[in-house]
Amino acid sequence: MDHLKYYIPVLVQLAALAGLLAGRDWVWLGVASFPALAILDSLLPRDYSPRKIRSKAVALIPVWICTLLAPTLYLALAYTIATTDLSGWQMLGAVLSCAWMSVLPLVPSSHELYHQRDAFSRFVGRYSQVCYLDCTRDIGHVVTHHIHVGTERDSDTAARGVSLYAFGPKAVLETTLDCLRTESDALEKRGLGRWSIHHRLWKAIVAQSLFQLIIFQIGGFKANLLALAAMLVARFWIETFNYFQHYGQVRLPGTPIEKRHVWNHLSPLSRIMTFEITNHADHHLNSFTPYYSLVPDKNAIPLPNVFVCFFAALIPPAWYNLIIKPALKRWDNEFASSEERKLAKAQNERAGWPNWFDATPDTGASRANQA
């Protein structure tokens, strides 16, 4: 049965595809799954069960389907634009549906592929990211994020007091520049020019241009504009998930990454729709661990599902006071080491947040070692 759970994101994508092809108000079907998943996931109990899946080949089938369906949705958008007269309201729905499907389930499915060891899987995972204008994203994710998570060098880790609105644009810029800089550094070490023809940026531009050309051939210039709008929305939307996964976490640079250095969202649909990205403590300990082998951390501080976190973060006081401050207060006093408590206290002071360390004995180091 565990195999079948991961076909839920496939079904959601197929529903979005059917909506785009049907036209009219059906084009809203894809993005309508977002609030529906938020409500349903909130009603279900937390899921701490490990998965009983042994066949990697079988487990990757829904991952591949979701990855390949994502660009198909853009082709369906172009076809609908060419054959159907959509109103402005309906075009908005089509854009948001493509954008949302480019976030979930594409980001986690492509993420699973570019963490594979074989070149073909990594190739498909990388270039499926044309759906959100970021075919070099995996460079920064693998090289920077996995090494510097929880530190100031990690642009995916939001500092305390930073709102979603401030984090999104800054993260888009910083992650893009980091990927380009990292690739240039790697080329230089190989004795090549920093912007030589081998740079992944040029390959990304070619891939993006070819995809846009296909969309143009199907739906014309209007389809290109709507597709680009969806891709831009998706690009910024994606950063919201890093915002929830790592918000306010601190780690002393150079110290080992431990399970406690990330947040987990262990509601059933959050786990399934993201191919276990929200159950990702183990992933940061070994990035080659397949999604179905990640074991939920039962000792972790529970956060609401990712969908609820997104809606809460749209209203920063709700995000701060109802969700993340209580979680960080507990993390600082129960899980953080002495050095991490100093970093956390400094961030709280900069953010104008309460000093919740004074009344609590410094037992974080010993508890951190037990976590």
Using alpha carbons only, what angle is made at residue 270 by residues 145 and 66, rounded to the nearest 5 degrees?
80
Collect contacts of 339-342 with beta carbons under 8 A, ≥24 apart.
339/252, 339/255, 340/250, 340/251, 340/252, 340/364, 340/368
Query: pLDDT at position 358, please?
Result: 65
How many structural domains compose the chain? 1
Return all residues near 33 (Cβ < 8 A) that are at least 6 apart: 12, 15, 16, 100
Q: What is the pLDDT of residues 151-205, one digit of tens each?
A: 999 999 999 999 999 999 999 999 999 999 999 999 999 999 999 999 999 999 9
pLDDT block averages, 10 residues each, the chain of length 371: 95 98 98 97 96 95 98 98 97 98 97 95 97 95 92 95 97 95 96 97 98 98 98 96 94 94 96 94 88 94 95 96 97 96 97 83 47 43
The token duo for 235 is 């690009």
How far apart are the C-alpha atoms of 81 and 229, rounded to whole Å? 14
Tell me the pLDDT tens digit for each residue of 208-235: 999 999 999 999 999 999 999 999 999 9
If we measure between CA atoms, which residue out of 243, 263, 251 comes closest to residue 364? Answer: 251
Name the DSSP letter for residue 323. Answer: I
Give the pLDDT score at 368: 45
- Whether this prediction's pTM lies above 0.75 is answered by yes
Give the whole-angstrom CA distance, residue 106 versus residue 241: 13
Residue ranges in the chain assigned as alpha helix (H): 2-5, 8-22, 29-43, 56-59, 61-83, 88-103, 106-114, 119-127, 137-139, 146-148, 164-189, 200-246, 268-273, 281-285, 306-313, 316-318, 325-334, 338-351, 364-370
- Map residue 301 onto helix, strand or coil: coil
- Model pLDDT for residues 335-361, shown as the tens digit of each residue: 999 999 999 999 999 999 999 996 555
3-class state of residue 287 by DSSP: coil
| Chain center to CA of 137 | 11
Please give the residue range of the domain that contains residue 134: 2-370
- Joined together, the tokens standing for residue 316 give 């920063």
